[in-house]
Amino acid sequence: MHLSLSHHLFFTSIPSTHKSTTKTPISCNVLLNPLKKSLPSPAPPFSPTKFSPEYVPPPSLGPIQKLAAAALDMVENSILIKLEKNKNLNPMIDPAVQLQGNYAPVQEVPVQTGLEVTGTIPRSIRGVYLRNGGNTLFPPTGGHHFFDGDGMIHAVTLKGGESASYACRFTKTNRLLAEASLGKPFFPKPIGELQGRLGLARLGLFYARTAIGLADSGGGMGVANVALTYFNGRLLAMSEDDLPYAVRIRPDGDLETTGRYDFDGQLRNSMIAHPKVDPATGDLYSLSYNVISQPHLKFLKFDKNGKMTREVGISLQQPTMIHDFAMTQSHVVIPDHQMVFKLSEMIQGGLPVVHDPDKVSRFGVMSKIANHESMIQWIDVPDCFCFHIWNAWEEVDDHGHRVIVVINSCLTPMESLYFSDSNNPLKAELSEVRLNLDTGRSTRRVIVSGINLEGGQVDKHHLGKRTRYVYLAIAEPWPKCSGIAKVDLDTGDVAKYLYGSRKFGGEVCFVPNEDEDEDEEEGFLMSFLRDEEREKSELVILKASTMTQVASVKIPSRVPYGFHGTFISAQELAKQSLF
Ligand SMILES: [Fe+2]
């Protein structure tokens, strides 16, 4: 089993009962860990999503298999589930907390056309906006974290003018299909269930079921719910605990999972969910980490045609959760921070991912053409802890020194990552980290203080080059997102667009104006928005240069809060692989 369950780990301020290194690591992706205090409404009941029987036929079992399956069901129902129900669940894994309000899952929605549009969708916006998220298929029987949910993609197709359609579909992962086939959840939930002895029992039960042929763990256990990347004509749905899944966008805007994608047999291990497509070359850069054995990290490069051209093993001292990295024109920048894997913690009742206060955060700078880990220059950045990096580039400073500039959101103070402290709340500070390659020293400067900024992007055409603007979600009240911020990195000025009372969005997606791709202001910003008071969902579209809304597309059904998304232009979509 891949234990890279950090895939979107992120801390919140839920009190921990464990010792100092066993804090309460939770969710990743940006901001969206539902906390009890921010979700006062009760959890609505929901039913499992219905799949058509011909799509997921039940497994064909022999008499002995049926007997063994029944025995395991009995063990689960009469012992394990009862013990889990008696467990006093931390809010971070309590389904009543994690799946309430707009965090509750929804059913699949086939293509809905002719959506109501307020304002005018700019004619230059032609393509598909897609956003990933967790959407559990079955009601949990025990602990569940929102990030344990099965991957679901929400897609809005925009064809200019007022033409807009919407669909949402599960990504048909190996685990989703296996569970749908049996009509029950049985793959272990990495955050919600893999804690303590009950977590080990869950794991044991799962492997007993695979041993009798109820599922194939070798086919992958990931949920593909974190992020989306369009590369070499394929939309890839990813979580860092598995290989990507390829999803085809049909001409009518519907989505169809074509399968687990191993880059034609070249990718053997899981890959992080934030690979980078080089805008200059079309090459894909990524990382893969291994919790069990060295090298704990690998750097991967695929050329624009999908051929793996580089794999560099990186021997970290400890297996480390690395959610994101950065790319400049000539280098990659790899964070090696304090969140590490300690499987022994799991046996003691905690999660296997912990904060190690004795480790010094650092960044590794490596040439894109390096072929050995000895070519990495590691530079300590002691006061920096981040999950996401928005951009990075190369500069020469006034002393003639080579400097790598990294723009990220540092989470601080570290103490508030672990303990609830209303007097010292967690902050997501947009920061500039400067890595001096000649002196080996670093600095960190807070660009914007007093406001939590996370979940954003720069113009993807400028990734790796100096950018003046970064567009981010205003992550307040944490972890919800109440608006969009456009930050001028030259001046520190912040232009805000606030959604309004009880309206919350998510990650900001920047859609470049393909006719104006040299100007990083000439584009549009998108985010799904939930009006919690009126119980309506929409896609809001802003003009980036003025930060004014130009259109809103009414979504005919609820869109839960989710994780990362992307926009694929019609020109890019025309080159979609036929699979
Ligand atoms: Fe992320």
pTM over 0.85: yes
The pLDDT value recorded for residue 516 is 61
d(CA 216, CA 534): 44
CA 372 to ligand 1 center in whole angstroms: 27
pLDDT mean values, one per 10 residues, the chain (579 residues)? 39 31 34 37 45 63 88 87 78 86 94 95 94 94 89 94 90 92 87 80 88 85 97 97 96 95 95 97 96 93 97 95 96 95 76 85 97 97 93 98 98 66 81 98 96 96 96 93 97 97 98 75 94 97 97 97 97 88
Give distance in angstroms: CA of 564 to centre of ligand 1.
Answer: 7
Q: What residue numbers does the annotated binding site cover?
A: 274, 323, 388, 564
Return the pLDDT at 196.
77
Q: Which fold has domain 9-573?
A: Methylamine Dehydrogenase; Chain H (2.130.10)
Query: Which residue type is seen at 118?
Result: T
Q: What is the pLDDT of residue 416?
A: 64
Q: How many CA atoms lie within 13 A of 500 on its CB side?
A: 8
Cβ atoms of residues 523 and 532 within 8 Å: no
Q: How far is the CA of 363 from the centre of ligand 1 (A)?
A: 18
Q: How far is the centre of ligand 1, averaged over its atoms, from the C-alpha of 31 (Å)? A: 10
- CA–centroid distance, 10 to ligand 1, in Å, is 9
**CA 240 / ligand 1 centre spacing (Å):** 10
Where is the binding site for Fe cation, in residues? 274, 323, 388, 564
235 CA → ligand 1 middle, Å: 17
Q: How far is the CA of 513 from the centre of ligand 1 (A)?
A: 25
- Report how far ligand 1's centroid is from the alpha carbon of 272 (Å): 9
The vertex-549 CA angle with 543 and 553, nearest 5°, equals 110
Q: How far is the CA of 387 from the centre of ligand 1 (A)?
A: 7
List the end-to-end C-alpha distance of the chain, in Å, as a whole number: 28
Short-list 129, 128, 121, 130, CA closest to 160:
121
Question: Of 292, 43, 4, which Cα lies nearest the Cα of 147?
Answer: 4
Alpha helices in 318-401 (DSSP H): 343-347
CA of 88 to the centre of ligand 1 (A): 29
* Rounded Cα distance, 235 and 230, in Å: 4
List the one residue out of 447, 450, 384 whose CA is nearest residue 413.
384
CA of 99 to the centre of ligand 1 (A): 20
Q: How far apart are the C-alpha atoms of 509 and 526, rounded to whole Å?
A: 5
300 Cα: distance to centroid of ligand 1 (angstroms): 18
d(CA 174, CA 579): 18
Residues 489/42, Cβ–Cβ less than 8 Å = no
So what's the pLDDT on residue 147? Answer: 87
